[in-house]
Amino acid sequence: MFDIQKESKSLTPIVISNLSLLLGKTKILDNINCKINNKSIFAILGPNGAGKSMFLKTINGLVGVKSGKINFNSREINEYIRKEIALVFQKPILLRRSVLENMQFVLEKKNKLSNFEIMKLLQRVGLDTFKDKPARLLSGGEQQRLSLARALLINPSLLLLDEPTANLDPYSLNLIEEIILDENKKGKTIILTTHDMGQAKRLAKEILFFNKGRLLEQTKAINFFKKPKTKEAQSYINGKILL
């Protein structure tokens, strides 16, 4: 059935054209052109400093676009679109409050979910028993899981995850990967960065490979891992340094 509300909510296709970003004298993003054309899972790969995190921050509007364009289903970013995007940072940013209060803070603004539902989300990321613990005392991996749960509270249609499992043990990693697959099945578009090639293979349908601020290729994951198009990506997945 055609769901007009869902349809008007859709942020895809996201079309990025001639996007460049200059900070000081350094070109952080260099003429990026790409299309996120369906509600799939996309993985951004590339070495440290390639521009992956900055790219996610430009998509969610945290870093203003001065050169180039990002269009969401033919619309530029606005307050409404911003509310449909959640970015989970590489380094979690949490309030100096309890786990539960960190969740409720989002709830207060949205006033949509009950505490019961918050607890269900905390349970999903394995943090329900920590609800009264100060969030700052959580371990790195626990903080990362809390950040994801908080992002899911607003039920965004576009989920940007910056190295979502970088600090996680194998059990938590599985847990989070299952949540990512599940949220995608429910209709969310997911763009994540990772240095874990196994994770990119398990989750992503398409790979965007970045190097030195440039998007060198956008390739179906199955083809990327068989044979990437560029020499740089080939070196990267073989663990060689990129010059």
Ligand X SMILES: Nc1ncnc2c1ncn2[C@@H]1O[C@H](COP(=O)(O)OP(=O)(O)OP(=O)(O)O)[C@@H](O)[C@H]1O
Position among 19, 42, 43, 51 found at the interface with ligand X (CB under 6 A):
51
| Cβ proximity to ligand X, 103 vs 192, nearer residue | 192
**Residue 64's binding partner out of ligand X, Mg ion, none, with CB under 5 to 8 Å set by partner kind:** none
Q: Verify binding: residue 54, ligand X, rule CB under 6 A.
A: yes
Instruction: Kindly state the smallest distance separating residue 64's Cβ from ligand X, in Å.
Output: 13
Residue 75: phi, psi to the nearest 5? -120, 145
Any contact of residue 52 with ligand X (CB under 6 A)? yes
Contact by Cβ (8 Å): 83, 50: no
Q: Is 50 in the site for ligand X (CB under 6 A)?
A: yes
Q: Which of 30, 40, 37, 48 is nearest to 15 (CA)?
A: 37
Q: Say whether residue 22 binds ligand X (CB under 6 A).
A: no
Residues in the chain: 243
Member of 8, 26, 111, 238 binding ligand X (CB under 6 A): 26
Tell me: does residue 23 bind ligand X (CB under 6 A): yes
The string over 25-51, giving b where at least 16 C-beta atoms fall within 10 Å of a residue's C-beta and e elsewhere, is eebbbbebebebeebbbbbbbbbeebb
Chosen from ligand X, Mg ion, none, partner binding at 48 (C-beta under 5 to 8 Å by type): ligand X
Alpha helices, H only, 30-139 = 52-59, 79-83, 99-110, 115-124
- The residue type of 52 is K
> Could you give the string, one character per residue 34-63, with x where binding to Mg ion holds by CB under 5 A and - elsewhere?
------------------xx----------
CA distance 29 to 214: 6
Q: Give least dist CB 193 to Mg ion, A.
A: 6
**What region, left, alpha or beta, does residue 241 occupy, with left being phi > 0 and alpha being psi -120 to 50 degrees?**
beta
31 binds, among ligand X, Mg ion, none (CB under 5 to 8 A by kind): none
Instruction: List the interface residues with ligand X, window 65-124 (CB under 6 A).
Output: 90
Residues of this chain that bind ligand X (CB under 6 A): 23-24, 26, 28, 46, 48-54, 90
The binding site for Mg ion (CB under 5 A) comprises 52-53, 90
